[in-house]
Amino acid sequence: MIRCDQLTKVYRRGGTEVRSLDVLDLEVQEGEFVSIRGPSGCGKTTLLLALGGMLHPTSGNVIVAGEDLYRLDAKRRAQVRSETIGFVFQMFHLIPYLNVLENVLLASGTSPADAALKRAKDLLTRFGMGPRLEHTPSELSAGERQRTAIARALLNKPKLVLADEPTGNLDPENTEEVFLRLSEFHKAGGTVIVVSHGSAAEKFSDRVIPMCAGKIVVSS
Amino acid sequence: MGKEAGVISTLHLILKEALHRKVNFVLSLSVVMITVALFVTYLTTAEASKRETTRVTRDMGFNLRIIPKETDMDLFWTAGFSEGTMSEETVQRFASYEGVFLSYNHLVAVLQKRFSLQGKDVILTGVSPAITAPNQKKQPMGFEIKAGDLHVGFQVADRLKLKRGDTLELGGHSFKIERAMVESGTEEDIRVYGRLSDVQRILGLEGKINEIKAIDCLCLTADQDPLRALRSELDKALPEAKVIQMRTIADARAKQRQTAERYFGFMSPLLLMVCAGWVCVLAVLNVRERRSEIGVLRALGHGSWRIAGLFLGRALLIGAGAALLGYGLGAALAHNVGPDIFKVTAKAIKVETALLGWSLVAAPAFSALASFVPAMLAVAHDPAVSLRAD
């Protein structure tokens, strides 16, 4: 599903080179639930954004579903993101002026309108957000916001979900809820990569990859 | 929800965002609206302003004196008028000369001579109706004297105890006093004005004039040497005459007009720059505030056109709203405040519906142009920066 070779990301800050990703090779099979774990600042989010076609690496390749992301032009890369990848963020990143349903529909891309609407409503109802469709993010609890964000990530039936600290702002009950939703997607054949500094994701994961200072320590 | 069409349109996002971030939207709208309103007010009252300026400068009097070429200038300045005469048809010939109204306007044939009236000299002055450019809509300047009427200067009226409606014997003819003029503090106070034909008859100079008064249309200041152009024109049209320009009045007229034009020429770009600056700053703030939104839109696969469309579309919406509101405000200002400023020419303040069309084209284009750089900043914004900022 995903393969990256010799991936590096180097930033320059005040004349100093910071290697956020350091010659990193990684392969994730289709249908895997992978948890990447490491301390804050070790490059987990950088890796996730690079895997999602959101952050151009300094060197190396990222191949997602057979597409070498950074050899594609920006338009095609955006299309791959829209059709293949769903993102879930720690801060939810819901659009504050759209209601729950609109936030989910924002991911509909080129899907037929009626089908997208039906799927959005189905997903939100399944996630317990049925009575909240017209509510804006500011009217939701943190758990509800993240469930909305997961529904948005799943709207286009992606092959891959990339989740960046998806439970970082949630209590244990909602943490469990979020991983259950991601686990459902995984059991349905989807690939999930979660980056986290905690261990909550591990019991749902097929594999845990520890990361430190931009490098994968060992792939277990 | 209003937008259950599956795909959320750019317009829907723009409208919702505008309602959400009201302060930024309203401030941006207000800046453009005020600019539109000021232009609409200015342009709606421009004709009245122009006419008012014309009246102000007109009230300064004629600034060109066309006199017979052989006039002895020492005697002319001593007497205040030319001792020589020209045929009355000279003024018609001059008026019919091609292109004369590009340089001269409001031609008035004058005959003036000293005349003894009840023991003292007055300057008896006959004036013809003014001749203006054939296609000129403006009213002829100054007053027009009917046959049989006289306008008497303050000193004459005071000495002879004349008032409006009295009669006065002059050269064996009886005239009605149409107007007793207010004190001017000039030789006007010892003038008696009559219809040119009446004065010619009294003086026994039928068909004769000794001056054509006019106003120059060049509106050049002394350093721009308008006399050379005026004399060159006159030499071709009336070789038997010469022209004297009353510089103080001419300069005042020219400066009055040039100042108004320069003021508008200076203020317009300044106003536009200030407005563009504000719109740009507010748009940049909007982009900064929405960085994570841009990031998430990118993550959801929305392309650069969509991002640019969100910000430029917002700018177009601001411009269109500002055009409508600004036009309404500007027109209302022009009609409510304009008549207080331009009391005499208030009738020239009319609804200019064409300005609404222009506003609806110019304001959105201007707003979009001012927001172009911020929109490009949004397009170029690295989504990873805001998404990683967690």
Query: How far apart are the C-alpha atoms of B256 and B253, rounded to whole Å?
Result: 5
Q: Considering only the C-alpha atoms of chain A, give the largest distance between any 2 of them, rounded to a whole number of Å.
A: 53
Closest CA of chain B from A152, distance in Å: 9
B20 and A CB contact within 8 Å: yes
The interface residues of chain B toward chain A in range 302-321, judged by CB-CB distance below 8 A, are 302-304
Average pLDDT of the residues of chain A: 89
Average pLDDT over residues A99-128: 89
| SS3 per residue for A108-176 | CCCCCHHHHHHHHHHHHHHCCCHHHCCCCHHHCCHHHHHHHHHHHHHCCCCCEEEEECCCCCCCHHHHH
| pLDDT over 60 (residue B1) | no
pLDDT digits over B267-304, tens only?
888 989 999 999 999 999 999 999 989 999 988 888 88
Q: Please, which pLDDT band fits residue B6 given cuts at 50, 70 and 90?
A: very low
Point out the least confidently predicted range of A150-164, B100-114, B277-291.
Answer: B100-114
The pLDDT assigned to B26 comes to 96
Percent of chain B with pLDDT over 90: 53
Query: How far apart are the C-alpha atoms of A120 and B340, rounded to whole Å?
Result: 62
The pLDDT assigned to B75 comes to 92
> Nearest by CB to A55, which of B19, B296, B384?
B384
The pLDDT assigned to B5 comes to 36
Q: Please, which pLDDT band fits residue A213 given cuts at 50, 70 and 90?
A: confident
pLDDT digits over A37-96, tens only?
988 888 888 999 999 998 999 999 999 989 999 999 988 988 898 889 999 998 889 999
Which DSSP letter does residue B139 get? P
- B160 or B4: which leads in pLDDT: B160
DSSP track, B38-74: HHHHHHHHHHHHHHHHHHHHHTT---EEEEETT--HH
- B268 or B122: which leads in pLDDT: B122
Across the interface, whether the CB atoms of B300 and A82 are under 8 A apart is answered yes
Which DSSP letter does residue B6 get? S
Q: How far is C-alpha A93 from the chain's CA centre? A: 12
Closest CA of chain B from A181, distance in Å: 19
Average pLDDT over residues B169-189: 91
Percent of chain A with pLDDT over 90: 55
Q: Among A18, A56, A98, A121, pick the best mutation site for testing chain B contact (most B Cβ within 10 A).
A: A98
Across the interface, whether the CB atoms of A87 and B293 are under 8 A apart is answered no
What ipTM did this prediction achieve?
0.85
Q: Which residues of A touch B382 (CB under 8 A)?
A: 55
- Residue B33: HSE in the Cβ half-sphere, 13 Å Cα cutoff: 16
The pLDDT assigned to B221 comes to 61
Q: Which residues of B touch A117 (CB under 8 A)?
A: 4-6
Across the interface, whether the CB atoms of A74 and B383 are under 8 A apart is answered no
- A170 or B219: which leads in pLDDT: A170
A133: nearest CA in chain B? B1
> Nearest by CB to A54, which of B4, B7, B298?
B298
Point out the least confidently predicted range of A181-185, B61-65, B238-242, B380-384.
Answer: B61-65
| Coil, strand or helix at A56 | coil
The pLDDT assigned to B58 comes to 60
pLDDT digits over A68-81, tens only?
999 999 889 888 98
- A153 or B133: which leads in pLDDT: A153
B292: nearest CA in chain A? A93
Task: Give the start-to-end residue ranges of the domains of chain B.
Answer: 2-56+255-389, 62-245
Average pLDDT of the residues of chain B: 86
pLDDT digits over B181-205, tens only?
999 898 889 999 999 999 999 999 9
Query: How far apart are the C-alpha atoms of B312 and B316, rounded to whole Å?
Result: 6
Residue B30, burial from CB neighbour count under 10 angstroms (0-12, 13-18, 19+)? middle
Average pLDDT over residues B249-265: 75
Q: Which residues of A touch B4 (CB under 8 A)?
A: 101, 117
B17: nearest CA in chain A? A97
The pLDDT assigned to B260 comes to 76
> Nearest by CB to B6, which of A96, A97, A105?
A105
